[in-house]
Amino acid sequence: MQPNTLLDSLLDEAGISHAGLAARINHAGRARGLALRYEHTAVSRWLKGQRPRGQVPDLICVVLGDRLRRPLSLDDIGLGVPGEPLTPGATPLAGFVERATALWRSDEQQRPHIVGAPAVTGTPAVMPVWEWENPPEDSDVSRPGRTKVSPADVHLLRAARAHYELMYRRTGGVATRARVVGFLNAETAPLLRGGYTDSLGRQLHRATGGLVAVAGICAYDSDSHGLAQRYFHQALRLAKASGDRGLGAYVIALLVNQSVYLGEYRQAVAFAEAALRTAGRQITPALAADLYAMQAKSYAHLGDAAGALGCIRRAETEAERIRPGYEPDETGYVQPGLVNVQVAEALLSLGELAAAQEHASAAVETPAHDRGRVHRLAMLSHIELRLGEADRAARTAAEMAERARGMESQRLRDRLREVREQLVASGSADAGETAELIDGALRVPL
């Protein structure tokens, strides 16, 4: 069950409260001989994804249509397909745009049922990947509209993606998310609803897909996993509309990373396979290396040592083929040392501590932006503790805490707390001092 952002957006546009809609539905029902007694709590459930019974969906169309002075269909209010999940690829492109922009609007307004929605599993989680991978393709993405989109507009979106990605790396997703979502609403939504040719439209959808992916990364980093997943699904649909398989594979890599974090290891392996298979020659060495490395982690968590080691070899081979300057902007996160730290995590799960330490140390010794360095130091500290090197782990963790100071990231806070607990339990002589440093880094409000 996913939040109904279309209905939420229409309520906001109509200026009707939850209680107001319930009262109007009851009144409209009486005209049809129905004795309805809905209250605001029922509307809240509908916004969370519950489907109203009987004639109520039709009544909602009538009530909101009268208020907005235009006819509304069940699809318009997010209730067009009874009993089936609303997935981005399940509607034509024009309908998808309305669903996507409705989500952005609800997110900017911090609707609790949107921000706090859990990630979906099973078919609703898999279907967007299947739809990206399989026909039909979008034969024509052109659109008529009053606002004429220009190449300069597309350039603006690309520049915005780079800007917000850099902001995320420096300050974290919590601080960045509100800004990127505000930009989506103010600048991107009008362009998607504007007028453009097929050729320019594909560029527009590609640029929007990259920007929406950053919004998803920020939501993931804020611990809003259902919201992050919906952004990633949107980015995947936009990638399909653009015709850029490489962008789609990048978005699937984000879904793979989230699947690993949520413990959906078999799903992570399957998604990575889909990206590698479907993108084919459009997949770059950096992205292939990351996908294989994440597969290795997943296989290791599943206890499949042979599968993990095979993927580690593939990841290392692809990493050697990376050529700076020949990668798209989105794969810039695959910096030197990233594969090392991914491999270290896989080896740690397999119990290969010495090899894991070697890879983690190599990752730390490789230059990286502060955010990536914090994660690498956290992994190295964890491995050192597992090896019984508590004092060395405390020194590593102290550097980690200094690097993390000032970053607003739920993921980093989780890593800091985990390392702190392990250090205190280790009995290291330096544990107390390092724990204070970590506490200082954790005092940054989210």
Instruction: Indicate whether 219 pLDDT > 70.
Output: yes
Which amino acid is it at 89? G
The pLDDT value given to residue 127: 93
The rounded distance, in Å, linking the Cα atoms of 56 and 48 is 16
Instruction: Indicate whether 89 pLDDT > 80.
Output: no
The pLDDT value given to residue 141: 96
How many C-beta neighbours within 10 Å does residue 339 have?
26
Cα 265 to Cα 119, 127, 154, 198, 298: the distances in Å are 15, 17, 36, 38, 5
The pLDDT value given to residue 446: 54
Indicate the SS3 state at residue 148.
strand
For the chain, percent helix, then strand, then coil, each to nearest 5? 70, 0, 25
Average pLDDT (61-90) is 73
The answer to whether the beta carbons of residues 434 and 400 sit under 8 Å apart is no
Cα 76 to Cα 7, 73, 92, 309, 442: the distances in Å are 8, 5, 13, 49, 44
Burial degree of 160 (CB within 10 A; 0-12, 13-18, 19+) = buried
Name the pLDDT band for 324 (thresholds 50, 70, 90): confident
* Percentage with pLDDT > 90 across the chain: 75
pLDDT of 375-417, one tens digit each? 999 999 999 999 999 999 999 999 999 999 888 899 999 999 9
- The β-bridge partners of 148 are 195
pLDDT of 417-433, one tens digit each? 999 999 999 888 888 99
Angle at 222 between CA 343 and CA 231, to 5 degrees: 85
How many C-beta neighbours within 10 Å does residue 112 have?
11
Q: What is the mean pLDDT of the chain?
A: 92
How many C-beta neighbours within 10 Å does residue 172 have?
25
Which contacts of 432-437 are long-range, i.e. CB under 8 A and separated by 24 or more positions?
433/394, 433/398, 434/394, 434/395, 434/397, 434/398, 434/401, 437/397, 437/398, 437/401, 437/402
Question: How many separate helices (H) and strands (E) can be counted in the chain?
Answer: 22, 0
Average pLDDT (184-212) is 97
pLDDT of 130-189, one tens digit each? 999 999 999 999 999 888 999 999 999 999 999 999 999 999 999 999 999 999 999 999
Map 76-87 to HEC letters: CCCCCCCCCCCC
Burial degree of 140 (CB within 10 A; 0-12, 13-18, 19+) = exposed
The pLDDT value given to residue 40: 92
- The β-bridge partners of 143 are 196
pTM of this prediction? 0.85
How many C-beta neighbours within 10 Å does residue 444 have?
18
